[in-house]
Amino acid sequence: MMFRSEQLLPMSFHQKKHPNLERLLIKAKPIQLDPSSKVVILSDLHMGNGGRRDEFRRNADLVRTMLSGYYLPGKYSLVLNGDIEELLKFPLESITEQWGMFFDLFLQFEKNGFFWKTWGNHDSDLLEEKGYKLAPWLVESLKFHYGNDTMLLFHGHQASILLWETYPLVSRAIVLFLRYVAKPAGIRNFSSAYNSRRRFAIEKSIYEFSNQAKIVSIIGHTHRPLFESLSRVDFLNFRIEELCRAFPQAHPEKRKEIEEKILALKEELDTCYRQGKKIGLRSGLYNNITIPSVFNSGCTIGKRGITALEIDGNKIRLVYWFNGKQSRKFISSRDNRPKELGRTGFSRIVLNEDSLDYVFTRLRLLS
């Protein structure tokens, strides 16, 4: 039995540890999910003006196709979880001029249930914009009630210790700096959350908060997909461990199959390491058991594709959408093959899937 010193302190102490996140949980717009609810969550589109510096441009077709050809007819509701417009680099007018038709597409999701949009650190200025079309759907956080359990959706920058990410006034000064000083001088990604030490710190404090509050947090911001608090590298490690354990007890016929699976997963893991991908939220803090309390939808500006989170009744999934030509990476994985959407050339593959009841059971038992 292990005691943590915090357990001896009064409740008010806990609440002060992450005051920003406590506030988000209290003020979040509540939404009741039912067993038939379907929701797709995207974040970090970083829409620009359609020019060379617009990071959304290369995946715009893919985003339009998957939303209008898959999620809309599939009766999904839509949540855009922050950093949708890239206001640190472009004025809203130029973004609207280039991508305004997407705003209409987003709004169509209301007929499937709901459409909501949270703000991130790159688009918090939307609050000040007059005549912004999606203003009535803009909130800071949402809470999904699933039975007696709660999923809190917010962008994630609120957990940052950096002033310019947390306070709008500071960020406004940065906007001016970026538009008129950094841009001409060629400085890029000045305020990005991509630095791996910084994003780990953000994820970590959201992880601690979620475990204390016994909720699931669904974020974006760091551009790194997380499923049940695990990065892809962690997941692959766990899965390989699991299969190795199963191998000795397996029927000889089954062993060949397990062996192939292990080899395929190991190959993917080696690729991850070669690309310099880091481990997720595993640490010694909780005896190395990872509590499945943080999910991150990743981003839609990936070079090879887009990640998204789906809630489908009692299931939660991390999916990857990509241009069909680049499917080599997933050929080896037998149980989840990519499926092309009609003849669009774009494919979707399920990277992870779990039951929400199982996620919340583990959260309650382990935290």
Q: Residue numbers of the site for Mn ion (CB under 5 A)?
A: 83, 120-121, 157, 221
Choice between 120 and 292, CB closer to Mn ion:
120
Q: How far is the CB of 191 from Mn ion (least distance, A)?
A: 8
Rounded Cα distance between 292 and 303, Å, is 28
Rounded Cα distance between 30 and 26, Å, is 10
Rounded Cα distance between 198 and 190, Å, is 13
Choice between 88 and 359, CB closer to Mn ion:
88
Q: Rounded to 5 degrees, what angle do the CA atoms 326, 59, 280 make? A: 70
Choice between 48 and 120, CB closer to Mn ion:
120
Q: How far is the CB of 95 from Mn ion (least distance, A)?
A: 16
Rounded Cα distance between 121 and 135, Å, is 16
Length, in residues, of the chain = 367
Q: How far is the CB of 307 from Mn ion (least distance, A)?
A: 15
Q: Name the DSSP letter for residue 335.
A: S
Choice between 121 and 297, CB closer to Mn ion:
121
Choice between 173 and 244, CB closer to Mn ion:
173
Q: How far is the CB of 83 from Mn ion (least distance, A)?
A: 4
Query: Helix 252-274 vs helix 232-246: angle between axes, to the nearest 10 degrees?
Result: 160
> Cβ of 220: how many Cβ atoms within 10 Å?
31
User: Which residue has 């890239």 as its token pair?
Assistant: 86
The strands making up 149-153's β-sheet, listed across from edge to edge, are 29-32, 142-146, 149-153, 216-219, 294-296
Choice between 112 and 222, CB closer to Mn ion:
222
Read out DSSP for 41-108? Answer: EE----B--SSTT-TTGGGHHHHHHHIIIIITTTT-EEEEES--B-TTTS-HHHHHHHHHHHHHHHHG
Choice between 83 and 125, CB closer to Mn ion:
83
Q: 155 — phi, psi (to 5°)?
A: -65, -45
Q: How far is the CB of 128 from Mn ion (least distance, A)?
A: 18
Q: How far is the CB of 158 from Mn ion (least distance, A)?
A: 10
Q: How far is the CB of 140 from Mn ion (least distance, A)?
A: 13
Q: How far is the CB of 193 from Mn ion (least distance, A)?
A: 5
Choice between 25 and 84, CB closer to Mn ion:
84
Query: Are the C-beta atoms of residues 41 and 218 closer than 8 Å to each other?
Result: yes
Q: How far is the CB of 171 from Mn ion (least distance, A)?
A: 11
Rounded Cα distance between 330 and 338, Å, is 7
Choice between 116 and 119, CB closer to Mn ion:
119
Rounded Cα distance between 154 and 27, Å, is 11
